[in-house]
């Protein structure tokens, strides 16, 4: 029966400010090492907030040929690199297994898509006065470009589309991929998200919201000052658990549940009730009880209001069980990668379950009475994780929570 299908995570790929692959990224997360540093993509004299979590030492010409670079925006490049790593990790070649490729979904999220291409087009037209844009501007900038390019590159002919719901985009993408497999609409999926929007326009726009930290990202810490923008991609290979076992695949964990809700309130102010409803639904769909969850990879942006609101929501859902939860924010290390944030966090959560290590909340200085859970400050902790949540609470009140479970 389709409703009894379990969904395994068998491959992960990622690129972020912490490294160009999962091995480098996990080593940084385990060490509590931050990828936040002075920005290099933006003239520092033209911005007030001069830090970010950029992908460092990245040379696109060493990753893609000239023909590919004509059609790949930076965010698409990141998505392709993460997808290639995830498939190699899973040990699947979809081009060789054409039947599986016909039933494999590609759901790749992004908050803004090809932002650098948009910026380049405006600069060319309005600053340089050129009479026309580059002919491939639209195929590069469209928000579904990464999903399309992954589908074409790896011969995936099942359902393919993009999800865009601000900072919850990747959790929505992973959740919908989970439901597709669970209900029999797909046998496997490549799902996650990618973002590369660090630019002068973006940075000045974020500064105007007054939610940015000028020193570093300190989620749940008393003196936290705000978020730090990041970039990167995370892609997961999802497949039927029975299929994974039959082919002897390495299994990181399973996605056991998925909760989503809308605050229907304010465009930027978080709401504890909306977040709590998404977490309760994740418990309900997974069949897990509050006491079964050992770890939460929190949304934890580092703003005063967001972090306190998320802790309030966790307490409302978990009650007494909240006291024994480990609740950390890996955004303290890889920054807030916007539409790709929860993809990076899904990779971190899968590795945490596999390795029995909880990545810390880095840069933590002092406890906040409004954030009084176990935030595993600064140093990773060895701990067996039976089940974990990954929370995303986006602008516009769009909440998505994934429940992961050890197999």
Which active-site residues does the annotation give?
167, 299, 336
CA 393/CA 165 separation, integer angstroms: 10
Contacts 24+ apart (CB under 8 A), 178-181: 178/7, 178/238, 178/255, 178/258, 178/402, 179/258, 180/105, 180/107, 181/5, 181/7, 181/105, 181/238, 181/239, 181/240
CA 214/CA 64 separation, integer angstroms: 34
Beta carbons within 10 angstroms of residue 389's beta carbon = 28
CA 298/CA 295 separation, integer angstroms: 9
70: its two tokens? 């004509």
392: its two tokens? 């995303």
Beta strands 104-109 and 160-163: pairing type? parallel
The number of C-alpha atoms within 13 Å of 261 and in the hemisphere containing its C-beta is 20
In the numeric block, the tokens 């029975």 are attached to: 242
CA 248/CA 366 separation, integer angstroms: 46
In this structure, are residues 167 and 186 in contact, taking their beta carbons and an 8 Å threshold?
no
Beta strands 398-405 and 387-394: pairing type? antiparallel
All residues at 6 or more sequence positions from 321 whose CB lies less than 8 Å from its CB, including other chains: 290, 291, 293
Closest to 306 measured CA to CA, from 351, 263, 348: 263
């Amino acid at each position: 029966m389709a409703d009894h299908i379990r969904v395994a995570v068998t491959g992960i790929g990622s690129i972020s400010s912490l490294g160009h692959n999962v091995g480098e990224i996990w080593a940084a997360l385990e060490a509590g090492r931050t990828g936040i540093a002075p920005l290099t993509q933006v003239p520092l004299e033209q911005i007030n907030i001069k830090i970010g979590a950029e992908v460092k030492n990245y040379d696109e010409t060493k990753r893609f040929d000239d023909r590919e670079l004509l059609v790949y925006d930076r965010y698409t490049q990141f998505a392709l690199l993460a997808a290639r790593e995830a498939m190699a990790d899973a040990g699947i070649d979809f081009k060789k297994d054409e039947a599986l490729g016909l039933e494999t979904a590609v759901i790749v999220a992004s908050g803004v898509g090809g932002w650098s291409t948009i910026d380049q087009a405006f600069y060319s037209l309005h600053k340089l006065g050129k009479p026309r844009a580059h002919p491939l501007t639209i195929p590069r900038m469209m928000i579904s470009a990464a999903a399309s390019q992954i589908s074409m590159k790896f011969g995936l002919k099942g359902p393919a589309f993009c999800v865009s719901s601000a900072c919850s985009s990747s959790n929505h993408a992973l959740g919908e991929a989970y439901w597709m497999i669970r209900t029999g609409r797909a046998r496997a999926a490549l799902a996650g998200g990618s973002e590369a929007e660090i630019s002068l326009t973006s940075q000045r726009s974020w500064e105007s919201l007054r939610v940015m930290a000028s020193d570093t990202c300190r989620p749940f810490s008393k003196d936290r000052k705000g978020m730090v923008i990041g970039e990167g991609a995370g892609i997961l290979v999802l497949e039927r658990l029975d299929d994974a076992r039959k082919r002897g695949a390495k299994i990181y964990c399973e996605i056991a549940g998925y909760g989503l809700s809308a605050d229907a309130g304010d465009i930027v102010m978080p709401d504890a009730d909306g977040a709590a409803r998404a977490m309760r639904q994740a418990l309900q769909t997974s069949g897990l009880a509050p006491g079964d969850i050992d770890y939460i990879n929190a949304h934890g942006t580092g703003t005063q209001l967001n972090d306190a609101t998320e802790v309030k929501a966790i307490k409302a859902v978990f009650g007494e069980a909240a006291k024994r939860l480990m609740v950390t924010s890996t955004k303290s290390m890889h920054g807030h990668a916007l539409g790709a944030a929860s993809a990076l966090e899904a990779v971190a959560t899968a590795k945490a379950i596999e390795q029995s290590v909880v990545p810390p909340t880095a840069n933590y200085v002092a406890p906040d009475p409004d954030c009084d859970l176990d935030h595993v400050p600064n140093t990773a902790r060895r701990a067996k994780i039976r089940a974990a949540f990954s929370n995303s609470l986006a602008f516009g009140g769009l909440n998505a929570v994934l429940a992961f479970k050890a197999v």
